[in-house]
Amino acid sequence: MIKALNKSNALLDDFPFPVFLLRRSDAAILWVNQAAEEWLGQSRQTLYLSALEAHFAKVDFYLNAHARCIESQAPITIRNHTVKKMGIPDQRHHITVFPSLEGIGVYFQPANVQPSEGRRNGETMSAMGRMLAHEIKNPLAGIHGAAQLLRDDVESAEGLALIKLIGSEIERISRLADRMERLGDRDPENLSFVNIHEVLRNAKKVTQASVPNTIQFVERYDLSLPQTLGDADTLMQALLNLIKNAAESIQENGGVGEIILETRFRSGVKSLSQSGEAARSLPIEIRVHDDGPGIPESIRHDIFQPFVTNKPAGQGLGLALVSKVTQAHGGIVEVQSQPHQTIFSVLLPRHEEDSL
């Protein structure tokens, strides 16, 4: 077996769908998670360094995807592929091939399982939550200590304000990490009435502190919108992910551009409840626009699935988290994208003051 695996790979043992790590040079199997062991009916010790043709028919398909992923250093998603395993009936899967530090990952999701709903999605998000919480908690103490040391050497009001921002973000991320293991649950944990404009302004402030001033922010808020009932920390993280993605898109396209943060009332949109309750209206719309290059068409329909990203160094978890947080608040998330215009829309229900 591999002597040392990336922590993210080790934590993928809890992932409910089969995940393989393949060697870059010849696509030999280096590691599998527990779901893959059960799927193939063999232990990872037995599977280690075995060839794909020992387990799958039509292996040229996988070798081609493996080579394309190495060449592009970007994830590749194939939908509704018929997987032929040796001695087992054919099954249709969505397959994502993605680069990792140790090799090339392959993730199989049964085609009859929708990533946006159902028990499996809860299990998937719970596994993601444990992985993210593990990676987030470790550096927080060091960052907090560094900020305290900086405070003693900073005298300007602007510098002290930035250190205060760092401190408040550490506290928020710490609270968020404590809840990560509950991402698979249906509902947010700490419900209160949330002013979405305050959340947006804070997310903008955090992003603005880390991007060049060639990226301009424009705010267009409908201040007459009602508050929504939710968890301010997880909503903050979801919107922060969207705004940071917008900034990264602009930076990859020359670094000069504009991000528009907008809220508005939108009528006629309803979400169907999985529990059999009546459909709820979603009149509160939050939009994040950017004028970057747009989302590649090859991944546009799959961007809310885990591990789907067009960033060479990305993990493909940010938009999956956005989707889960939005669903947990009874809302939906939409995306429209073309060159020089991408718009993510988060739609949330309104709540009356007596709903607590």
Let me know whether 99 and 19 are in one domain: yes
Query: Which helix or strand (DSSP H or E) is residue 216 part of?
Result: strand 215-220
Let me know whether 330 and 253 are in one domain: yes
Q: Tell me whether residue 1 is in a domain.
A: no
User: What is the residue-wise DSSP string for 138-201?
Assistant: HHHHHHHHHHHHHHHH--SHHHHHHHHHHHHHHHHHHHHHHHGGGTTSSS-SS-EEE-HHHHHH
Let me know whether 218 and 341 are in one domain: yes
Let me know whether 95 and 32 are in one domain: yes
Let me know whether 88 and 177 are in one domain: no
| pTM of the model as a whole | 0.56
Q: Tell me whether residue 136 is in a domain.
A: yes
Q: What angle do CA 320, 302, 204 make, to 5 degrees?
A: 45
Residue type, position 144, single letter:
H
C-alpha–C-alpha distance, residues 62 and 106, integer Å: 9
C-alpha–C-alpha distance, residues 78 and 101, integer Å: 22
In angstroms, the first-to-last Cα distance of the chain is: 52
Per-residue pLDDT of the chain (356 residues; tens, 9 = 90+): 333 344 445 557 777 788 999 999 999 999 998 888 888 888 989 999 999 989 988 888 899 999 999 988 888 888 778 888 766 667 788 888 988 888 999 988 876 543 444 344 455 555 666 666 656 666 777 787 788 888 888 888 888 888 888 888 888 777 767 655 555 454 556 688 999 999 999 999 999 988 999 999 999 999 999 888 888 888 998 999 999 999 999 998 888 999 999 999 987 777 755 554 566 788 999 999 999 999 888 787 778 876 677 665 555 678 888 888 888 888 889 888 888 999 999 999 987 554 44
